[in-house]
Structure 1
Amino acid sequence: MGHLVTVATCNLNQWVLDWEGNLARIIESIHIAKKAGARLRVGPELEISGYSCLDHFHELDIFEHSLEMLRRLLLDESCYGILLDVGLPILHRNIKYNCRVIALDGKILLIRPKMWLANDGNYREMRHFTPWMRPRETELFHLPKSLAELQGDTHVLFGDAVISTPETAFGAETCEELFTPKAPHIDMALDGVEIITNSSGSHFTLQKLDTRLQLIMEATRKSGGVYLYANQQGCDGERLYFDGCAMIIVNGDIVAQGSQFSLNDVEVVTATVDLEEVRSYRSSMSRGLQAATSPAKYQRIQTPFELSSEEDDADVGKRPTLPIQPRIHSVEEEIALVGGCYLWDYLRRSGTAGYLVPLSGGIDSCATAVIVYSMCRIVMEAINEGNAQVIEDVKRIAKYNGEGVLPKTAQELCNQVFTTIYMGMKKQSSVETRQRAKDLSEAIGSYHVDLDIDDVYQAQKQLVVNTLNFEPKFKVEGGTVQENLTLQCIQARIRMVTAYEFGQILPTARGRPGGGSLLVLGSANVGESLRGYLTKYDCSSADINPIGSIDKADLKRFIAWAEKTFNIPCLHDFLTAIPTAELEPITENYVQSDEADMGMTYPELTVFGRLRKLNKLGPYAMFKRLVHDWSIDRKRVEGDEAPYYTPEQVAKKVKDFHHYYAINRHKMTTITPALHCNDYSPDDNRFDLRPFLLPPFWKSWSFKRIDMELERINKKKERDNKASK
Structure 2
Amino acid sequence: MGHLITVATCSLNQWVLDWEGNLGRIIESIHQAKAAGARLRVGPELEICGYSCLDHFHELDVYTHSLEMLLQLLQDETTHGIVIDVGLPIMHRNLRYNCRVICLDGKILLIRPKMWLANDGNYREMRHFTPWMRPRETELFHLPKMLAEVQGATHVLFGDAVISTPETAFGAETCEELFTPNAPHIDMALDGVEVFTNSSGSHFTLQKLDTRLQLIMEATRKSGGVYLYANQQGCDGERLYFDGCAMIIVNGDVVAQGSQFSLNDVEVITATVDLEEVRAYRSSISRGMQAATSTAKYQRIQTPFELSPEDEDADVWKRPTPVIKPRYHSVQEEIALVGGAYLWDYLRRSGTAGYLVPLSGGIDSCATATIVYSMCRMVIQAIEEGNAQVIADVKRLAKYDGEDVLPKTPQALCNQIFTTIYMGMKKQSSRETRQRAKDLSDAIGSYHVNLDIDDVYEAQKKLVVNTINFEPKFRVEGGTNQENLTLQCLQARIRMVTAYEFGQILPTARGRPGGGKYVYPYISDQSACCVDSLRGYLTKYDCSSADINPIGSIDKDDLKRFIAWAEKSFDLPCLNEFLTAIPTAELEPITHDYVQSDEADMGMTYQELTIFGRLRKLNKLGPFAMFQRLVHDWSIDRERSPEDDGPAYTPAQVAEKVKRFFHFYAINRHKMTTLTPAIHSNDYSPDDNRFDLRPFLYPSFWSSWSFKRIDMELKRIEKRSAKKASV
- TM-score in same-fold range (> 0.5): yes
CA contact (8 A) 2:397 2:513 kept: no
Partner of 1:453: 453
Structure-2 residue corresponding to 1:489: 489
Contact 1:2 1:313 in 2 (8 A): no
Q: Structure 2: how far apart are the matches of 1:687 and 1:666?
A: 16
The equivalent residue for 1:610 is 614
Query: Is the counterpart of residue 705 in structure 1 residue 700 in structure 2?
Result: no
Q: Distance in 2 between matches of 1:329 and 1:12?
A: 20
Give the match's secondary structure for 1:289. helix
Measured after TM superposition, the shift of residue 408 of structure 1 is: 1.3
> Deviation of residue 284 (structure 1)?
3.5
The equivalent residue for 2:694 is 690
RMSD: 0.9
Shift in Å at residue 310 of structure 1?
3.7
CA displacement, residues 206-246 of structure 1 (integer Å, 9 cap, x when unaligned): 11111111001101011000000000110000011000000
Shift of 1:513: 2.9
Partner of 2:111: 111
Q: Does the 8 A contact of 2:396 with 2:513 survive in 1?
A: no
Post-superposition shift, 1:714? Answer: 1.1
**Structure 2 length-normalised TM:** 0.99
Residue identity in the other structure for 2:460: Q
State the alpha-carbon separation in 1 of the partners of residues 712 and 623 from structure 2.
Answer: 13
C-alpha deviation, 1:317, in angstroms? 1.6
1:667 partner letter: K
The alpha carbon displacement at 1:454 in A equals 0.1
Aligned match of 2:549? 545
For residues 632-684 of structure 1, the C-alpha deviation after alignment (integer angstroms, 9 at most, x for no partner) is 11112231121111111111111011000000000000010001101111111
Q: How far apart, CA to CA, are the structure 1 residues paired with 2:175 and 2:513?
A: 44
Counterpart secondary structure, 1:245: coil
Contact 1:2 1:312 in 2 (8 A): no
Residue-by-residue CA offset, 1:427-453 (whole Å, 9 max, x unaligned): 000000000000000000000000000
Asked whether the equivalents of residues 3 and 313 of structure 1 are also in contact (C-alpha less than 8 Å), the reply is no
* Letter paired with 2:467: T
SS, match of residue 223 in structure 2: coil
Q: CA deviation at 1:311?
A: 3.7
Tell me the equivalent position of 1:63.
Answer: 63
What amino acid does structure 1 have at the position aligned with 2:726? K
Tell me how far 1:286 sits from its aligned partner. 3.1
Q: Secondary structure at the match of 2:286?
A: helix
Specify the code of the residue in structure 1 equivalent to 2:393: D
Q: How does 1:345-364 map to 2 (within 5 A)?
A: 345-364=345-364
Q: SS at the partner of 1:519? A: coil
Mapped to 1, the partners of 2:59 and 2:264 lie a distance apart of 30
How far apart are 1:719 and its partner, in Å? 2.0
Contact 1:3–1:309 (8 Å) recurs in 2: no
Is contact 1:113-1:158 (8 Å) kept? yes
Map 1:231-242; keep pairs closer than 5 Å: 231-242=231-242
Report the residue type matching 2:436 in the other structure. R
Report which stretch shifted further, 127-136 or 631-640. Answer: 631-640
Structure 2: gaps of 5 or more residues: none
Q: How many percent identity over aligned positions?
A: 84
1:285 to partner: Cα distance: 6.6
CA distance in 2 between counterparts of 1:139 and 1:489 reads 62
Q: Which residue of 1 aligns with 2:665?
A: 661
Asked if the contact 1:34/1:82 (under 8 Å) is kept, the reply is: yes
Q: Is the 8 A contact 1:4 1:313 kept in 2?
A: no
Whether the 8 Å contact between 2:399 and 2:513 is mirrored in structure 1 is yes
Counterpart Cα distance in 2 of 1:37 and 1:382: 26
> Cα deviation per residue 1:455-514 (whole Å; 9 max; x = unaligned)?
000001000000110000000000000000000000000000000000000011112131
Letter in 2 for 1:673: P
CA contact under 8 A between 2:98 and 2:113: conserved in structure 1? yes
Secondary structure of the residue that 1:282 maps to in structure 2? helix
- 2:408 and 2:296 map into 1 onto residues whose CA distance is 60
Structure-to-structure mapping, 1:151-550, within 5 angstroms: 151-284=151-284, 286-311=286-311, 315-515=315-515, 516-523=518-525, 524-550=528-554
Q: Which range moves more in the overlay, 264-273 or 709-718? A: 709-718
Q: Comparing 16-25 with 710-719, which one deviates more in the overlay?
A: 710-719
Structure 1 residue 312: deviation in Å? 7.6
Residue type matched to 2:64 in 1? E
Equivalent residue number for residue 46 of structure 2? 46
Q: Which residue of 2 aligns with 1:91?
A: 91
CA contact (8 A) 2:407 2:413 kept: yes
Aligned residues: 723
Equivalent runs, 1:596-675 vs 2, <5 Å: 596-675=600-679
> Contact (CA 8 Å) 2:353, 2:513: kept in 1 or not?
no
One-letter code aligned to 1:542: A
Matches of residues 568-579 of structure 1 in structure 2 within 5 Å? 568-579=572-583
1:12 and 2:12 aligned: yes
- Provide Cα deviations, 1:144-181, integer angstroms capped at 9, x if missing partner: 00000011100000000000000000000000000000
The one-letter code matched in structure 2 to 1:73 is: L
Amino acid of the residue matched to residue 552 of structure 2?
G
Contact persistence 2:10–2:266 (CA under 8 A): yes
Are 1:241 and 1:676, in contact at CA under 8 Å, matched by a contact in 2? yes
Q: Which runs of 5+ in 1 are unaligned?
A: none
Question: Which residue matches 2:566?
Answer: 562
